[in-house]
Structure 1
Amino acid sequence: MILKVEHRTLFAYSRPIYETATEVRLHPDSSQNSSQRCSSFTLDIEHTPTIFEYTDFYGNKVHHFNILQSHDRVSILATSIIETGKGTPLSSDNEAILLMDFSAESRFVHFDPAIREFTSSFSPQMPPLALGEAICRKIHDSFIYEPGVTDVHSTSAVVMALGRGVCQDFAHIMLAACRSLQIPARYVSGYLFGGSTPLGHDEASHAWCEIYGGPETGWVGMDPTHSSLFVDERYIKIGSGRDYADVPPVRGTWKGNAEETLSVSVKLTAIS
């Protein structure tokens, strides 16, 4: 599929602020190991700041900018055209180092007693992908999709206690379950055409997991939010990391005495 993504972020402030410093992780994955290809990417930012970019430790492309003059809003529009595929992401040269991070606890992924109990029926001797699929299915069948009960700071332990949440929460549960059984797994930020929610709406960014099947198999995407479970050509990957903290779409700080309001809209269109 060839898909167009228009991701708009608006920060509005109750009074003028200054010295905004912002990082943006919205460029679709276009590494040589990726199964998709980004043919076009533009970043339009209000106040026309100079935009810099770098690649972070996990291979994600990051754009960043500063706005020093007084302002009461910042609008960021990222527009991408991506050709998606069904292929499996391959392993990278530094996989051995990364696998240590993707096998351990992290900021939002905890091996708490509830996770141990949740995974007690699974055998660590199962093949990695079969085990990942079984965990993915159990999360989909056991948890309720309900926006508003969690936020971007909710850990896997919090979601386990609630028994409900959104795609980010389900991804964190899956990471905790897989890693606690010694299966390397990483968090993926991106989009899903025709359904970032179980109701089938393209409302915002989406999140899922990739399970490591070994050097020959590579990484396989699995999505506990949807009954189809496996990632296909409808998915657009932006980046990956240990959990949400490594790949937030937009992150920044500012100086001033004001209240901030954030609004996000995402539009996905099929070109072919």
Structure 2
Amino acid sequence: MILKVEHTTIFEYDNPIYETATEVRLHPDNKETSPQRCVSFALTVDPPAQIFEYTDFYGNRVHHFNILQSHKKVRITTSSVVETGTGRSDSTHDEFIYLMDFKAESRFVHFDAAIRDFATQFTSDITTYDLAAAICKTINDSFVYEPGVTDVHSTSAVVMALGRGVCQDFAHIMIAACRFLGHPARYVSGYLYGGSTPDGRDEASHAWCEVYCGKELGWIGFDPTHKTLFVDERYIKIGSGRDYSDIPPVRGTYKGNGEEKLSVSVRVSSME
């Protein structure tokens, strides 16, 4: 599929702020090993600022900028066109040291008692692919999707206790279970086309996970939030990391006493 994404992030403050430093991770994945291809990408900032970029440790493209002058509003707008793929990446990134990062606990992924109990219900004498599929289906069947009960700082332990949450939370649960059982798993940030509106548009970012299923299969995308369970051509991957903290869409700091208000709008549409 060929999909277009329009993503707008607005920060508003009740008092002037200054010396804003912001990182943006919204460039669709375009590595040679990726099954998708980013046809175009544009990023604009208001107030205007010079935009720089670098590639982080996990291969994600990061744009960053500073706004030194006083201001009360920052608008960040991105527009992307992506030719999507299958949701399967090859096994290029299978070095032992690289995989170790995706087998351990991380900021939002903990091996607490609830996770251990959840994970041990799954048999260990099946393939990694079948195990990941079983974990994904169980989460989808057992947890309730409910916005507002968690936030971006909620750990897997919190979500296990609640039994509900959103896509970010369910991805963290699946990652925790897979890692506890010894299988590398990573958090993925991106978009899903046609998941929530009658005219085929999505109005929010999405998150899922990828599990390393060996050299032959590589990294496979699983989505515990949706009944389809597997990542396909409707998904656009931005990037991946150990958990949400490695790949937040926008992150920054500022000086001043203004209280911050955040609003985000996303539109994903088909160009076919």
| TM-score computed with the length of structure 1 as normaliser | 0.97
Q: Is the 8 A contact 1:124 1:182 kept in 2?
A: no
Question: How far off is 1:30 after superposition?
Answer: 0.1
Q: Is the 8 A contact 1:196 1:204 kept in 2?
A: no
SS in 2 for 1:102: coil
1:39-58 map, 5 Å: 39-58=39-58
Q: Is the 8 A contact 1:25 1:249 kept in 2?
A: yes
Question: How far off is 1:87 after superposition?
Answer: 5.5
Moved more, 74-83 or 120-129: 120-129
Q: Is the 8 A contact 2:16 2:72 kept in 1?
A: yes
1:122 partner amino acid: F
Give the paired residue count.
270
Pick closer, same or farther for the CA change 1:201–1:151 going to 2, 3 Å: farther
Q: Is the 8 A contact 2:167 2:208 kept in 1?
A: yes
Which sections of structure 1, spanning at least 5 residues, go unmatched?
none
Q: Is the 8 A contact 1:191 1:237 kept in 2?
A: yes
Distance 2:124 2:46 in 1: 51
Pick closer, same or farther for the CA change 1:78–1:18 going to 2, 3 Å: same
Q: Is the 8 A contact 1:12 1:74 kept in 2?
A: yes
Which sections of structure 2, spanning at least 5 residues, go unmatched?
none
- Offset from partner CA, 1:205-231 (integer Å, 9 cap, x none): 100000101122110000000010000
Pick closer, same or farther for the CA change 1:224–1:94 going to 2, 3 Å: closer
2:10 partner amino acid: L
Distance 1:172 1:120 in 2: 17
Q: Is the 8 A contact 1:196 1:205 kept in 2?
A: no
Distance 1:175 1:201 in 2: 27
1:255 aligned onto 2:255: yes
Distance 2:171 2:93 in 1: 25
Distance 1:96 1:76 in 2: 38
Moved more, 122-131 or 138-147: 122-131
Distance 2:124 2:18 in 1: 52
Identify the residue that residue 19 of structure 2 maps to in structure 1. 19
Distance 1:86 1:185 in 2: 18
Distance 2:224 2:87 in 1: 19
Distance 1:23 1:116 in 2: 35
Distance 1:87 1:171 in 2: 15
Identify the residue that residue 156 of structure 1 maps to in structure 2. 156
2:77 partner amino acid: L
Question: How far off is 1:95 after superposition?
Answer: 3.3
Distance 1:125 1:20 in 2: 52
- Offset from partner CA, 1:14-54 (integer Å, 9 cap, x none): 01100000000000000000000001000010021010000
Question: How far off is 1:166 after superposition?
Answer: 0.2
Identify the residue that residue 64 of structure 1 maps to in structure 2. 64
Question: How far off is 1:93 after superposition?
Answer: 4.9
Q: Is the 8 A contact 2:87 2:235 kept in 1?
A: no
Identify the residue that residue 212 of structure 1 maps to in structure 2. 212
1:30 partner amino acid: N
Question: How far off is 1:201 after superposition?
Answer: 6.1
Distance 2:95 2:147 in 1: 35
SS in 2 for 1:75: strand
Pick closer, same or farther for the CA change 1:31–1:23 going to 2, 3 Å: same
1:69 partner amino acid: Q
SS in 1 for 2:18: strand
Percentage identity across paired residues of the two chains: 70
Distance 1:55 1:232 in 2: 25
SS in 1 for 2:80: strand
SS in 1 for 2:89: coil
The root-mean-square deviation of aligned C-alpha atoms, in Å, is 1.3
| TM-score computed with the length of structure 2 as normaliser | 0.97
Q: Is the 8 A contact 1:12 1:72 kept in 2?
A: yes
Q: Is the 8 A contact 2:20 2:66 kept in 1?
A: yes
2:179 partner amino acid: R
Identify the residue that residue 174 of structure 1 maps to in structure 2. 174
Distance 2:33 2:93 in 1: 10
Q: Is the 8 A contact 1:196 1:206 kept in 2?
A: no
Identify the residue that residue 142 of structure 1 maps to in structure 2. 142
